[in-house]
Amino acid sequence: MPYDMIKVDTNGAVGVITLNRPKALNALNTQTMNEVVAAAQAFDSDGKVGCIVLTGSEKAFAAGADIKEMQPLSYMDAWSQDFFAGWDALTRIRKPIIAAVSGYALGGGCELAMICDFIIASESAKFGQPEITLGVMPGMGGSQRLTRFVGKSKSMDMCLTGRMMDAEEAERSGLVSRVVPVSDLMEVTLEVAAKIAQFSQPAVAMTKESVNRSYEMTMAEGVRFERRLFHSLFATEDQDEGMKAFVEKRSAQFKNR
Ligand code: CO8
């Protein structure tokens, strides 16, 4: 499928999706959403890809949902189209998605980064939920996901004042997993993604599913869910190979089955 709003590439076993609307600081319109979802789904069903990276430009990961597209919408337009609900499809991708964030990740941009499984930020990254300044509020999960990442106090502060959080504060608050120099962002993220992609894909997918379930279940249910997945991995050849390789002091050759 030809893409206009994104670039799609592979780097070894890593699928890379780059938001590419530089003139609009990668503002997320409906077409961008459809293309990102289609590209992620294509990587998810590509057996040669083990991990996905979503990134933007050095200046902006994404400066939000496209305000120019939203501005004329009426309540009925937004409601009847279930405006932007299409992004939910990204939460059903089974392979890990890493957001590599440089520059602005605002509004829908911050929410999109949080839909990914984890965020690696460059020193220039700026996160924010400035919707309040536009007379609205987060609409792609920001009030829920940001609160789980950084806690109620900081989430309220961000969502109610619209202020930005720099990379250092984002790491300190648990929003991002690591901060790297701007020039190293893609190199580091691709290394991390390649490392994940080399492991047994059933184990990777189940680990992702289990960590994400911790947001939705009680501790007792989550631990039981994890244990059932853990047990099921003993039906894979990769468990046999992984443990045998450890005992035989050699590296494992996973076959993803
Ligand atoms: N939407 C559309 N266009 C944008 C956006 C955006 N979010 N952000 C920037 N642009 C455009 C600008 O209009 C400008 O275009 P033009 O050259 O045609 O005037 C171009 O990108 C460059 O932007 P600036 O000149 O403003 O660049 P600066 O470097 O001066 O400023 C900022 C950068 C600070 C990022 C500034 O552009 C800005 O504040 N942008 C808006 C940020 C924002 O408010 N984002 C939140 C949007 S609302 C949202 O995301 C809601 C999500 C929930 C939706 C779910 C619905 C169900």
Percent of the chain surpassing pLDDT 90: 98
Local confidence band at 1 (pLDDT 50, 70, 90 cut-offs): confident
Give the CA distances from residue 67 to residues 29, 71, 78, in Å, rounded to whole numbers and listed in that order. 9, 6, 13
Half-sphere exposure of 34 (CA within 13 A, CB side): 8
CB 203 within 8 A of CB 231: no
How close is the Cα of 237 to the center of ligand 1, in Å? 49
Looking at residue 3, the DSSP 8-state letter turns out to be -
Residue 25 Cα: closest atom of ligand 1: 21
**pLDDT of 2 higher than 90:** no
Q: How does pLDDT run across 210-256, given as a tens digit for each residue?
A: 999 998 999 999 999 999 999 999 999 999 999 999 999 999 999 99
Report whether 65 contacts 139 (CB < 8 A): yes
> Known catalytic residue: 131?
yes
The residue whose two tokens read 């089955």 is 257
Please compute the mean of the pLDDT values over residues 139-144 and round it to a whole number. 97
- Ligand 1, atom 11: closest residue by C-alpha: 24
Q: Which member of 105, 131, 141, 242 is catalytic?
A: 131
Is residue 241 part of the annotated active site? The answer reads no
For the question of residue 103 being annotated catalytic, the response is no
pLDDT for residue 134? 97
pLDDT at 44 over 80: yes
Positive or negative CA dihedral for 182, 167, 171, 65? negative
CA distance 121 to 99: 8
Residue 96 reports pLDDT greater than 80: yes
